[in-house]
Structure 1
Amino acid sequence: MSEDHSPSASSRPRRQPRVGNTSTGVRKAASKSNRSRAREFALQALYQHIVGRNDATAIDMFTRDLAGFHKADSAHYDALLHGCITTEADLDALILPMLDRQFSEISPVEHAVMWIGVYEFQHCADVPWRVVLNECIELAKEFGGTDGHKYVNAVLNGLAPKLRSLEVAADKGKQAAD
């Protein structure tokens, strides 16, 4: 009988969960908040709506069955999905003047991300405008085309002063004072 000189499992240091970004810049799952996850699922659902014109109820049922949905803020997901679909014409009316091309030339992913951003600017006052902007940029980086996040950034950054005027002005005032 040979002796095992390897350290026992109980004496080995425990592996720490990975957090931060992957080598491609995408946030690792362990670092995502429930709201970030809700935005991801809402994006997937809105993509189905834009591309397939699928019914919101069918999209919702399908999305709730996806792996990991239980970790998302379902109330925020509901607000984003149903709010964006219900007000899509109003959202598009705000976004269109900021575009340098037609919606048909915009990726459905970037289109859906812009909807999420504009909807949150208008209806989620508890989320700071910079958080909305950063979350949407991250969504576009993770799910969109190579430089789609730059386009999303330009559009939402252009709309923020209009949709969150007091908050943006106060933020810029702080920066000028620093």
Structure 2
Amino acid sequence: MTDRVTVSLDDDSRAALEALLSETGGGQSAVIRRALTFYAANFEAAETDVSADLQQYHRLLSTGEHVLLDVDFLHCFLDHVYREGEPDPEFRTAADRVADFHAAEYAERFSELGEVLEWLSLCGFLTVRGVENGAYHVVFPSEPTKRFMLRFIERSTAELPFELAIEEGVAKALLSEELDE
């Protein structure tokens, strides 16, 4: 038995339906059935805060500017680069160029340290454990990651309207803003 449903479409849903019809070459009923099935299967992701993260991940990955990297590979790379205690000078120069490029991007995009840390947390390089009296408690997965990321954060926030204050621990650090005067 087939159930019939009448749906009122607003401009956005009408445009979405027309785009899907054009893209798939299917009929309205088939497209609506597939859309409902997909939505039901992905309801939790579509309706939770995780959805915002998924949208960010999609944006990061779909441009080709970022890649997924297994955390073990990250540790292998950084352990190799920091093998003698100090990073390889060529690596440091290249990483500094990347950080300096991001400084210009971040100057247009962020105004507070917390925004930068939230973004880097999304990328998986660190975890912000809390904020206390304006200081962010930041945990890193390893000592080389901490050293690498603290240098990156220092350089990439250079054009933001504050000075960065850092108190280092073994695997974590306290980061805070000192406002420019």
The TM-score normalised by the length of structure 2 is 0.33
Larger radius of gyration: 2
Richer in strand (by share): 2
Structure scoring higher RCO (CA < 8 A, sep ≥ 6) equals 1
